[in-house]
Structure 1
Amino acid sequence: RAEQTGIALALVPLVMVAMNAVYAAAAYPFGQLSDRVSHHGLLLAGLAVLVAADGVLAVSTHWAGLLLGVGLWGVHMAMTQGLLAAMVAAAAPPDLRGTAFGFFNLVSGVAMLLASVLAGLLWEGIGPQATFAAGAGFSLLAMLGLMLRRAGAAT
Protein backbone atom coordinates (compact mmCIF):
# COMPACT_ATOMS: atom_id res chain seq x y z
CA ARG A 1 0.00 0.00 0.00
CA ALA A 2 2.86 2.41 0.80
CA GLU A 3 4.43 1.75 -2.61
CA GLN A 4 1.11 2.49 -4.36
CA THR A 5 0.82 5.74 -2.39
CA GLY A 6 4.32 6.74 -3.47
CA ILE A 7 3.55 6.00 -7.11
CA ALA A 8 0.29 7.95 -6.90
CA LEU A 9 2.04 10.96 -5.33
CA ALA A 10 4.73 10.89 -8.02
CA LEU A 11 2.05 10.70 -10.70
CA VAL A 12 0.20 13.74 -9.35
CA PRO A 13 3.19 16.13 -9.83
CA LEU A 14 3.80 14.69 -13.30
CA VAL A 15 0.16 15.27 -14.22
CA MET A 16 0.32 18.83 -12.90
CA VAL A 17 3.57 19.51 -14.78
CA ALA A 18 2.12 18.14 -18.03
CA MET A 19 -1.14 20.09 -17.69
CA ASN A 20 0.65 23.32 -16.84
CA ALA A 21 3.16 22.87 -19.68
CA VAL A 22 0.31 22.59 -22.19
CA TYR A 23 -1.53 25.47 -20.52
CA ALA A 24 1.55 27.70 -20.64
CA ALA A 25 2.31 26.84 -24.27
CA ALA A 26 -1.25 27.44 -25.47
CA ALA A 27 -2.35 30.39 -23.31
CA TYR A 28 -0.77 33.13 -25.42
CA PRO A 29 -2.13 31.89 -28.77
CA PHE A 30 -5.60 31.46 -27.31
CA GLY A 31 -5.34 34.89 -25.68
CA GLN A 32 -4.61 36.38 -29.09
CA LEU A 33 -7.51 34.44 -30.57
CA SER A 34 -9.87 35.73 -27.88
CA ASP A 35 -9.12 39.27 -29.05
CA ARG A 36 -10.45 38.42 -32.52
CA VAL A 37 -13.38 36.02 -32.03
CA SER A 38 -16.61 35.83 -30.08
CA HIS A 39 -15.96 35.30 -26.37
CA HIS A 40 -19.16 33.29 -26.15
CA GLY A 41 -18.10 30.95 -28.94
CA LEU A 42 -14.59 30.49 -27.56
CA LEU A 43 -15.96 29.76 -24.09
CA LEU A 44 -18.28 27.12 -25.57
CA ALA A 45 -15.34 25.60 -27.44
CA GLY A 46 -13.27 25.59 -24.24
CA LEU A 47 -16.04 23.79 -22.40
CA ALA A 48 -16.29 21.27 -25.24
CA VAL A 49 -12.56 20.57 -24.84
CA LEU A 50 -13.14 20.06 -21.11
CA VAL A 51 -15.92 17.57 -21.86
CA ALA A 52 -13.51 15.73 -24.16
CA ALA A 53 -10.77 15.78 -21.50
CA ASP A 54 -13.12 14.41 -18.85
CA GLY A 55 -14.41 11.79 -21.27
CA VAL A 56 -10.90 10.60 -22.09
CA LEU A 57 -9.94 10.52 -18.42
CA ALA A 58 -13.12 8.62 -17.51
CA VAL A 59 -12.43 5.78 -19.92
CA SER A 60 -8.64 5.65 -20.06
CA THR A 61 -6.85 2.68 -18.57
CA HIS A 62 -3.39 3.42 -20.00
CA TRP A 63 -0.90 6.19 -19.25
CA ALA A 64 -1.18 7.45 -22.85
CA GLY A 65 -4.89 8.11 -22.30
CA LEU A 66 -4.04 9.89 -19.06
CA LEU A 67 -1.58 12.15 -20.87
CA LEU A 68 -4.11 12.88 -23.62
CA GLY A 69 -6.79 13.79 -21.08
CA VAL A 70 -4.37 15.93 -19.09
CA GLY A 71 -3.20 17.63 -22.29
CA LEU A 72 -6.77 18.40 -23.28
CA TRP A 73 -7.38 19.78 -19.81
CA GLY A 74 -4.40 22.10 -20.30
CA VAL A 75 -5.83 23.25 -23.63
CA HIS A 76 -9.17 23.93 -21.90
CA MET A 77 -7.40 26.04 -19.29
CA ALA A 78 -5.54 27.97 -21.99
CA MET A 79 -8.78 28.63 -23.85
CA THR A 80 -10.82 29.78 -20.87
CA GLN A 81 -8.77 31.34 -18.08
CA GLY A 82 -7.67 34.52 -19.82
CA LEU A 83 -10.99 34.65 -21.62
CA LEU A 84 -12.92 34.65 -18.34
CA ALA A 85 -10.80 37.52 -17.05
CA ALA A 86 -11.44 39.47 -20.26
CA MET A 87 -15.17 38.80 -19.96
CA VAL A 88 -15.21 40.06 -16.36
CA ALA A 89 -13.31 43.19 -17.38
CA ALA A 90 -15.67 43.82 -20.31
CA ALA A 91 -18.82 43.34 -18.23
CA ALA A 92 -17.81 45.45 -15.23
CA PRO A 93 -18.08 49.23 -15.09
CA PRO A 94 -14.57 50.76 -14.96
CA ASP A 95 -15.03 52.01 -11.40
CA LEU A 96 -16.06 48.53 -10.19
CA ARG A 97 -13.55 46.30 -12.01
CA GLY A 98 -11.57 45.51 -8.88
CA THR A 99 -14.76 44.58 -7.07
CA ALA A 100 -15.91 42.52 -10.06
CA PHE A 101 -12.63 40.56 -10.14
CA GLY A 102 -12.79 40.04 -6.39
CA PHE A 103 -16.35 38.76 -6.59
CA PHE A 104 -15.54 36.56 -9.59
CA ASN A 105 -12.62 35.01 -7.71
CA LEU A 106 -14.73 34.54 -4.58
CA VAL A 107 -17.46 32.73 -6.50
CA SER A 108 -14.87 30.73 -8.45
CA GLY A 109 -13.11 29.71 -5.25
CA VAL A 110 -16.31 28.60 -3.53
CA ALA A 111 -17.36 26.67 -6.65
CA MET A 112 -13.92 25.03 -6.83
CA LEU A 113 -14.14 24.02 -3.18
CA LEU A 114 -17.59 22.48 -3.62
CA ALA A 115 -16.55 20.76 -6.86
CA SER A 116 -13.45 19.35 -5.17
CA VAL A 117 -15.47 17.95 -2.28
CA LEU A 118 -17.95 16.37 -4.70
CA ALA A 119 -15.11 15.00 -6.83
CA GLY A 120 -13.46 13.46 -3.78
CA LEU A 121 -16.70 11.88 -2.62
CA LEU A 122 -17.37 10.43 -6.07
CA TRP A 123 -13.78 9.20 -6.42
CA GLU A 124 -13.81 7.47 -3.04
CA GLY A 125 -17.40 6.22 -3.20
CA ILE A 126 -17.71 5.12 -6.82
CA GLY A 127 -14.35 5.60 -8.54
CA PRO A 128 -12.44 7.95 -10.80
CA GLN A 129 -14.69 7.23 -13.79
CA ALA A 130 -17.67 8.69 -11.93
CA THR A 131 -15.66 11.77 -11.00
CA PHE A 132 -14.72 12.52 -14.61
CA ALA A 133 -18.17 11.61 -15.90
CA ALA A 134 -19.68 14.10 -13.44
CA GLY A 135 -17.19 16.74 -14.58
CA ALA A 136 -18.23 16.17 -18.18
CA GLY A 137 -21.90 16.34 -17.17
CA PHE A 138 -21.47 19.64 -15.33
CA SER A 139 -19.54 21.05 -18.30
CA LEU A 140 -22.36 20.01 -20.63
CA LEU A 141 -24.84 21.75 -18.32
CA ALA A 142 -22.72 24.90 -18.41
CA MET A 143 -22.66 24.72 -22.21
CA LEU A 144 -26.43 24.33 -22.29
CA GLY A 145 -26.84 27.31 -19.97
CA LEU A 146 -24.60 29.45 -22.20
CA MET A 147 -26.52 28.44 -25.31
CA LEU A 148 -29.89 29.15 -23.66
CA ARG A 149 -28.63 32.52 -22.42
CA ARG A 150 -27.40 33.37 -25.90
CA ALA A 151 -30.71 32.29 -27.45
CA GLY A 152 -32.62 34.39 -24.90
CA ALA A 153 -30.46 37.43 -25.61
CA ALA A 154 -31.04 37.07 -29.36
CA THR A 155 -34.82 37.27 -29.01
Structure 2
Amino acid sequence: MSIPGEGHEDVRADEQKDGRKAGGYGLHERANPKRHRVIRLWTVVHPSVLGSTTLTATASEAPLTARLYPRNWRGDGVPSFKPSGQKGWPIRGQDLVRLSADYWWVIGVGVVLTLARFSEAFLVLKGRAAGLPLALVPVVMVVMNVVYAATSAPAGALSDRIGRRPVLVAGLAALACADLALALMPGLAGLFVGVSLWGLYMWLTQGLLSALVADTAPEDLRGTAFGIFNLATAAALLAASGIAGLFWDRYGPSSTFLVGAVFAALAAAGLTLRRRQA
Protein backbone atom coordinates (compact mmCIF):
# COMPACT_ATOMS: atom_id res chain seq x y z
CA MET A 1 0.00 0.00 0.00
CA SER A 2 1.43 3.36 -0.99
CA ILE A 3 1.35 6.31 1.36
CA PRO A 4 0.49 9.64 -0.26
CA GLY A 5 2.50 12.76 0.35
CA GLU A 6 6.13 13.50 0.88
CA GLY A 7 8.26 11.40 3.18
CA HIS A 8 6.33 8.18 2.57
CA GLU A 9 9.58 6.31 2.03
CA ASP A 10 10.74 7.14 5.58
CA VAL A 11 7.38 6.12 6.98
CA ARG A 12 7.54 2.82 5.10
CA ALA A 13 11.08 2.23 6.41
CA ASP A 14 9.91 2.81 9.99
CA GLU A 15 6.99 0.46 9.49
CA GLN A 16 9.34 -2.20 8.13
CA LYS A 17 11.64 -1.74 11.11
CA ASP A 18 8.73 -2.15 13.54
CA GLY A 19 7.54 -5.16 11.58
CA ARG A 20 10.96 -6.78 11.86
CA LYS A 21 10.96 -6.22 15.62
CA ALA A 22 7.49 -7.70 16.02
CA GLY A 23 8.29 -10.59 13.70
CA GLY A 24 11.51 -11.33 15.53
CA TYR A 25 9.67 -11.41 18.85
CA GLY A 26 7.09 -13.77 17.35
CA LEU A 27 9.74 -16.16 16.04
CA HIS A 28 11.56 -16.02 19.38
CA GLU A 29 8.34 -16.83 21.23
CA ARG A 30 7.57 -19.63 18.81
CA ALA A 31 11.03 -21.09 19.33
CA ASN A 32 10.78 -20.80 23.16
CA PRO A 33 7.10 -21.33 24.00
CA LYS A 34 7.66 -22.57 27.55
CA ARG A 35 9.83 -19.62 28.52
CA HIS A 36 7.34 -17.06 27.25
CA ARG A 37 4.49 -18.92 28.92
CA VAL A 38 6.33 -18.58 32.24
CA ILE A 39 6.97 -14.87 31.61
CA ARG A 40 3.31 -14.19 30.85
CA LEU A 41 2.23 -16.20 33.91
CA TRP A 42 4.61 -14.27 36.19
CA THR A 43 3.39 -10.96 34.75
CA VAL A 44 -0.11 -11.89 35.87
CA VAL A 45 0.82 -13.44 39.21
CA HIS A 46 3.48 -11.11 40.65
CA PRO A 47 1.11 -8.27 41.74
CA SER A 48 -0.87 -10.72 43.86
CA VAL A 49 2.35 -12.17 45.30
CA LEU A 50 3.55 -8.71 46.32
CA GLY A 51 0.16 -7.84 47.79
CA SER A 52 -0.11 -11.02 49.86
CA THR A 53 3.48 -10.58 51.08
CA THR A 54 2.69 -7.04 52.25
CA LEU A 55 -0.45 -8.20 54.03
CA THR A 56 1.44 -11.02 55.74
CA ALA A 57 4.18 -8.66 56.90
CA THR A 58 1.73 -6.15 58.38
CA ALA A 59 -0.94 -8.52 59.70
CA SER A 60 0.63 -8.67 63.15
CA GLU A 61 0.68 -4.88 63.53
CA ALA A 62 -2.05 -3.13 65.46
CA PRO A 63 -4.49 -1.05 63.39
CA LEU A 64 -3.64 2.59 62.85
CA THR A 65 -6.50 3.62 65.15
CA ALA A 66 -5.08 1.40 67.90
CA ARG A 67 -1.68 3.08 67.59
CA LEU A 68 -3.17 6.56 67.65
CA TYR A 69 -5.65 5.92 70.48
CA PRO A 70 -4.20 3.05 72.57
CA ARG A 71 -6.60 3.67 75.48
CA ASN A 72 -9.53 2.55 73.34
CA TRP A 73 -8.00 -0.78 72.30
CA ARG A 74 -7.28 -4.01 74.18
CA GLY A 75 -3.99 -5.84 73.87
CA ASP A 76 -5.36 -8.33 71.34
CA GLY A 77 -6.17 -5.57 68.86
CA VAL A 78 -9.91 -5.65 69.50
CA PRO A 79 -11.58 -2.28 70.15
CA SER A 80 -12.74 -1.79 73.72
CA PHE A 81 -15.45 0.67 72.70
CA LYS A 82 -18.77 -0.10 71.06
CA PRO A 83 -20.56 1.84 68.34
CA SER A 84 -23.16 4.20 69.71
CA GLY A 85 -25.82 2.98 67.31
CA GLN A 86 -26.88 6.58 66.72
CA LYS A 87 -28.72 7.11 63.47
CA GLY A 88 -29.56 10.25 61.54
CA TRP A 89 -27.77 13.59 61.70
CA PRO A 90 -24.42 13.02 63.50
CA ILE A 91 -24.08 16.57 64.91
CA ARG A 92 -25.95 17.06 68.15
CA GLY A 93 -26.99 20.31 69.74
CA GLN A 94 -25.16 19.69 73.00
CA ASP A 95 -21.95 19.14 71.07
CA LEU A 96 -22.30 22.45 69.26
CA VAL A 97 -22.78 24.22 72.59
CA ARG A 98 -19.51 22.75 73.85
CA LEU A 99 -17.54 24.26 70.97
CA SER A 100 -15.88 27.43 72.22
CA ALA A 101 -16.16 30.96 70.93
CA ASP A 102 -12.52 30.75 69.81
CA TYR A 103 -13.42 27.79 67.62
CA TRP A 104 -16.31 29.64 65.94
CA TRP A 105 -14.02 32.63 65.43
CA VAL A 106 -11.56 30.35 63.61
CA ILE A 107 -14.44 29.09 61.46
CA GLY A 108 -15.38 32.68 60.57
CA VAL A 109 -11.78 33.60 59.74
CA GLY A 110 -11.45 30.44 57.66
CA VAL A 111 -14.56 31.31 55.66
CA VAL A 112 -13.35 34.87 54.96
CA LEU A 113 -9.88 33.57 54.09
CA THR A 114 -11.38 31.05 51.66
CA LEU A 115 -13.37 33.83 50.02
CA ALA A 116 -10.04 35.58 49.42
CA ARG A 117 -8.35 32.42 48.15
CA PHE A 118 -10.37 31.57 45.07
CA SER A 119 -9.30 28.92 42.59
CA GLU A 120 -5.76 29.09 41.19
CA ALA A 121 -7.35 28.78 37.75
CA PHE A 122 -7.75 32.56 37.87
CA LEU A 123 -3.96 32.86 38.05
CA VAL A 124 -3.74 30.97 34.78
CA LEU A 125 -6.39 33.24 33.26
CA LYS A 126 -4.46 36.26 34.51
CA GLY A 127 -1.33 34.93 32.81
CA ARG A 128 -3.17 34.70 29.52
CA ALA A 129 -4.64 38.20 29.99
CA ALA A 130 -1.17 39.59 30.79
CA GLY A 131 0.10 38.48 27.39
CA LEU A 132 1.71 35.15 28.23
CA PRO A 133 1.71 32.87 25.16
CA LEU A 134 -0.70 29.98 25.39
CA ALA A 135 2.09 27.41 25.35
CA LEU A 136 3.74 29.08 28.38
CA VAL A 137 0.62 29.54 30.51
CA PRO A 138 1.46 26.49 32.72
CA VAL A 139 4.61 28.36 33.80
CA VAL A 140 2.34 30.34 36.14
CA MET A 141 1.57 27.25 38.21
CA VAL A 142 5.18 26.09 37.99
CA VAL A 143 6.48 29.36 39.49
CA MET A 144 3.90 29.31 42.27
CA ASN A 145 4.67 25.72 43.24
CA VAL A 146 8.43 26.21 43.02
CA VAL A 147 8.23 29.12 45.48
CA TYR A 148 5.93 27.09 47.73
CA ALA A 149 8.17 24.00 47.65
CA ALA A 150 11.37 25.98 48.15
CA THR A 151 10.08 27.68 51.29
CA SER A 152 7.81 25.03 52.81
CA ALA A 153 10.39 23.20 54.92
CA PRO A 154 10.80 25.73 57.78
CA ALA A 155 7.10 26.63 58.00
CA GLY A 156 6.30 24.30 60.89
CA ALA A 157 9.35 25.40 62.87
CA LEU A 158 8.44 29.05 62.38
CA SER A 159 4.91 28.39 63.62
CA ASP A 160 6.22 26.59 66.71
CA ARG A 161 8.63 29.42 67.46
CA ILE A 162 6.44 32.52 67.18
CA GLY A 163 2.93 31.07 67.26
CA ARG A 164 0.35 30.14 64.68
CA ARG A 165 -1.64 33.37 64.58
CA PRO A 166 1.28 35.69 63.71
CA VAL A 167 2.36 33.35 60.92
CA LEU A 168 -1.19 33.17 59.60
CA VAL A 169 -1.50 36.97 59.67
CA ALA A 170 1.79 37.23 57.75
CA GLY A 171 0.43 34.77 55.20
CA LEU A 172 -2.73 36.81 54.77
CA ALA A 173 -0.60 39.92 54.27
CA ALA A 174 1.31 38.05 51.55
CA LEU A 175 -1.97 37.06 49.90
CA ALA A 176 -3.22 40.66 49.98
CA CYS A 177 0.05 41.87 48.43
CA ALA A 178 -0.19 39.15 45.78
CA ASP A 179 -3.71 40.25 44.88
CA LEU A 180 -2.66 43.89 44.72
CA ALA A 181 0.30 43.05 42.48
CA LEU A 182 -1.92 41.04 40.16
CA ALA A 183 -4.51 43.81 40.09
CA LEU A 184 -2.33 46.91 39.80
CA MET A 185 1.08 45.98 38.36
CA PRO A 186 0.99 45.80 34.56
CA GLY A 187 2.40 43.14 32.30
CA LEU A 188 4.31 39.98 33.04
CA ALA A 189 6.29 41.61 35.86
CA GLY A 190 3.14 42.08 37.91
CA LEU A 191 2.02 38.57 37.03
CA PHE A 192 5.14 36.82 38.30
CA VAL A 193 5.49 39.05 41.38
CA GLY A 194 1.90 38.23 42.30
CA VAL A 195 2.27 34.52 41.61
CA SER A 196 5.46 34.35 43.70
CA LEU A 197 3.75 36.10 46.60
CA TRP A 198 0.85 33.66 46.22
CA GLY A 199 3.30 30.77 46.67
CA LEU A 200 4.72 32.54 49.74
CA TYR A 201 1.21 32.84 51.14
CA MET A 202 0.68 29.10 50.63
CA TRP A 203 3.90 28.39 52.51
CA LEU A 204 2.89 30.54 55.47
CA THR A 205 -0.69 29.33 55.83
CA GLN A 206 -0.80 25.69 54.70
CA GLY A 207 -2.22 23.64 57.55
CA LEU A 208 -2.31 26.48 60.08
CA LEU A 209 -6.09 26.84 60.10
CA SER A 210 -6.43 23.10 60.68
CA ALA A 211 -3.99 23.41 63.58
CA LEU A 212 -6.06 26.25 65.04
CA VAL A 213 -9.19 24.10 64.75
CA ALA A 214 -7.44 21.33 66.70
CA ASP A 215 -6.22 23.85 69.30
CA THR A 216 -9.64 25.38 69.95
CA ALA A 217 -11.87 22.26 69.82
CA PRO A 218 -12.40 19.78 72.69
CA GLU A 219 -10.38 16.61 72.24
CA ASP A 220 -13.43 14.34 72.02
CA LEU A 221 -15.15 16.64 69.48
CA ARG A 222 -12.31 17.19 67.04
CA GLY A 223 -13.93 15.01 64.41
CA THR A 224 -17.10 17.09 64.58
CA ALA A 225 -15.05 20.30 64.64
CA PHE A 226 -13.11 19.38 61.51
CA GLY A 227 -16.29 18.27 59.77
CA ILE A 228 -17.94 21.65 60.38
CA PHE A 229 -14.76 23.47 59.36
CA ASN A 230 -14.43 21.55 56.09
CA LEU A 231 -18.11 22.00 55.29
CA ALA A 232 -17.95 25.75 55.88
CA THR A 233 -14.74 26.30 53.91
CA ALA A 234 -15.93 24.11 51.02
CA ALA A 235 -19.09 26.20 50.70
CA ALA A 236 -16.97 29.36 50.91
CA LEU A 237 -14.62 28.11 48.17
CA LEU A 238 -17.56 27.48 45.87
CA ALA A 239 -18.90 30.95 46.58
CA ALA A 240 -15.44 32.52 46.17
CA SER A 241 -14.95 31.11 42.69
CA GLY A 242 -18.44 32.24 41.70
CA ILE A 243 -17.82 35.76 43.00
CA ALA A 244 -14.42 35.90 41.30
CA GLY A 245 -15.90 34.77 38.00
CA LEU A 246 -18.69 37.32 38.26
CA PHE A 247 -16.29 40.21 38.85
CA TRP A 248 -13.96 38.93 36.13
CA ASP A 249 -16.74 38.90 33.53
CA ARG A 250 -18.33 42.21 34.50
CA TYR A 251 -15.44 44.41 35.61
CA GLY A 252 -12.25 42.73 34.41
CA PRO A 253 -9.37 40.80 35.99
CA SER A 254 -8.16 43.65 38.21
CA SER A 255 -11.46 43.82 40.08
CA THR A 256 -11.31 40.11 40.89
CA PHE A 257 -7.95 40.41 42.62
CA LEU A 258 -8.91 43.65 44.38
CA VAL A 259 -11.89 41.87 45.93
CA GLY A 260 -9.55 39.07 46.99
CA ALA A 261 -7.24 41.60 48.66
CA VAL A 262 -10.19 43.04 50.60
CA PHE A 263 -11.21 39.61 51.90
CA ALA A 264 -7.61 38.81 52.87
CA ALA A 265 -7.37 42.09 54.80
CA LEU A 266 -10.65 41.33 56.59
CA ALA A 267 -9.41 37.88 57.62
CA ALA A 268 -6.13 39.33 58.91
CA ALA A 269 -8.02 42.01 60.84
CA GLY A 270 -10.25 39.34 62.38
CA LEU A 271 -7.28 37.33 63.61
CA THR A 272 -5.53 40.41 65.00
CA LEU A 273 -8.67 41.66 66.75
CA ARG A 274 -9.35 38.31 68.39
CA ARG A 275 -5.77 38.09 69.62
CA ARG A 276 -5.99 41.52 71.27
CA GLN A 277 -9.29 40.64 72.93
CA ALA A 278 -7.78 37.43 74.25
TM over 0.5: yes
Q: 1:132 aligns with which of 240, 257, 266?
A: 257
Q: 1:25 aligns with which of 150, 154, 159?
A: 150
Task: Answer whether contact 1:27 1:82 (CA < 8 A) is retained.
Answer: no
- Does residue 1:115 correspond to 2:240, yes or no? yes
Change (3 A) 1:87 1:123: same
Q: CA RMSD in A?
A: 2.1
Residue aligned with 2:162, SS: coil
TM-score by length of 1: 0.86
Identify the structure with bigger relative contact order (alpha carbons < 8 Å, sequence gap 6+): 1
Q: Deviations over 1:90-127 (max 9, x none)?
A: 12222222222222221111111111100000011001
Report the Cα offset of residue 78 of structure 1.
1.0
Q: Determine the C-alpha separation between the residues in 2 that align with 1:52 and 1:8.
A: 26
Q: Kindly tell me the number of residue pairs found equivalent between the two proteins.
A: 149
Q: Determine the C-alpha separation between the residues in 2 that align with 1:112 and 1:54.
A: 17
Structure 2 residue aligned with 1:44: 169
Return 5+ residue gaps in structure 1 as ranges.
none
Structure 2 residue aligned with 1:80: 205
Return 5+ residue gaps in structure 2 as ranges.
1-127
TM-score by length of 2: 0.50
Task: Answer whether contact 1:31 1:82 (CA < 8 A) is retained.
Answer: no
Query: Where does structure 1 differ by over 6 angstroms across 4 or more consecutive aligned residues?
Result: none
Q: Determine the C-alpha separation between the residues in 2 that align with 1:92 and 1:21.
A: 34
Q: Which has the larger radius of gyration?
A: 2
User: More helix by proportion, 1 or 2?
Assistant: 1
Report the Cα offset of residue 38 of structure 1.
2.0
* Amino acid corresponding to residue 152 of structure 1 in structure 2: Q
Q: 2:230 aligns with which of 105, 119, 123?
A: 105
Q: 1:70 aligns with which of 195, 199, 207?
A: 195
Change (3 A) 1:126 1:31: same
- Does residue 1:56 correspond to 2:181, yes or no? yes
Structure 1 residue aligned with 2:274: 149
Q: Deviations over 1:13-39 (max 9, x none)?
A: 322222122222222211221111121
